[in-house]
Amino acid sequence: MTARLLRGGPAADALLAEATARAARLPAPPQLVMLRLGEDPASVSYVRGKDRRAREVGLKSTVYALPETTSQAELLDLIARLNADDTVNGILVQLPLPLHIQEQTVLHAIDPRKDVDGFHPLNVGELWSGRPALRPCTPAGILYLLDHYGIPVAGQRAVVVGRSSIVGRPLAGLLLHRDATVTVAHSRTPDLGAVTREADLLCVAVGQPHLITPDMVRPGATVVDVGINRVLGEGGGKAQLTGDVAPEVAQVAGAITPVPGGVGPMTIAQLLANTVLAAELQAKGRAAR
Ligand code: NAD
């Protein structure tokens, strides 16, 4: 058996088509503002990708590329100005931040209504309470991808490997909200394979190439591979991207997301959908005042 490939491209296009149709009904194109500090190559590339995609789908995108030496006070001051600016609908601070800046202080400073990454504690709390709010992009994008391909969630035994606050934990919360029976495994979980073999739906967000091998997967299970790992190509050649799931798992699983081209495109699409949602909610809020 070879698993059905759950490609992110078509699902991301569908999500963006819905979002842009909604954006067209707003008085002005929603604006996303991204703040990046320093020149970390991965951050530069992620922000560039989000900016390009935002423009392609007709959103307004503004990037502040700030020096690495920017002080926390200067950053908080800029966020306060963006919070107060009604033309700004979404604010994203690209992580990781330089060590002299406290990530939590910065994330708390963003107006939760503009928190398109869904990392503000208010939005985290709303997620765990099962109330509508801005959701973290990768987990929300994964749920959209599963729905797009008709993969059932309710009543399924879901195992999430990884408990980070940007992927594993919020993904577990969203799956629980959608009536899956959820187990979260992590670096201290003994006999990981015994846990993952229980899963109808196995989601892996660890950051270790090929951690999940075929013997750890129940035949026919759906496998969502969130991992993005840079490894050297054959014979030490050009670096390639690979997931947390070994390629041979495709011989056992019923369905699987590829890396690259699986969850990655969903994350950017969900960020832009969140920007449109934030703009809609802000417009409603202003109309009610
Ligand atoms: P993280 O380092 O913050 O968290 C990793 C988690 O894995 C931790 O909770 C840890 O407990 C767990 N873990 C570590 N070793 C383990 C082991 N041997 N067995 C079981 N669990 C173990 O990472 P993150 O930010 O959640 O990212 C995870 C991966 O997903 C990375 O490869 C990252 O690049 C990728 N990622 C992809 C996207 C995307 O859009 N596709 C988005 C975010 C992150």
CA of 162 to the centre of ligand 1 (A): 5
Active site residue 50: yes
Does position 239 have pLDDT exceeding 90, yes or no? no
Could you tell me the domains of the chain? 27-112 (3.40.50.10860), 136-266 (3.40.50.720)
Predicted pLDDT at 289: 76
pTM, entire model: 0.97
Q: Considering only residues 238 and 47, tell me which one the structure prediction assigns the higher pLDDT.
A: 47
> Which pLDDT score is estimated for 132?
85
Confidence check: pLDDT of 21 > 80:
yes
Pairing of strands 237-242, 4-5: unpaired
Residue-wise pLDDT for 150-168, tens only, equals 999 999 999 999 999 999 9
Q: Are 259 and 195 in contact (CB under 8 A)?
A: no
Q: pLDDT of 199-228, one tens digit each?
A: 999 999 999 999 999 999 999 999 999 999
Choose among 134, 223, 221, 207: nearest CA to 170. Answer: 134
Report the chain's mean pLDDT, rounded to a whole number. Answer: 96
Q: How confident is the model at residue 258 (pLDDT cuts 50, 70, 90)?
A: very high
**Residue 270 known to be catalytic:** no
Pick the catalytic residue: 31, 114, 115, 117?
117
| Pocket of ligand 1 contains residue 226 by CB under 6 Å | yes
Annotation says 13 is catalytic: no
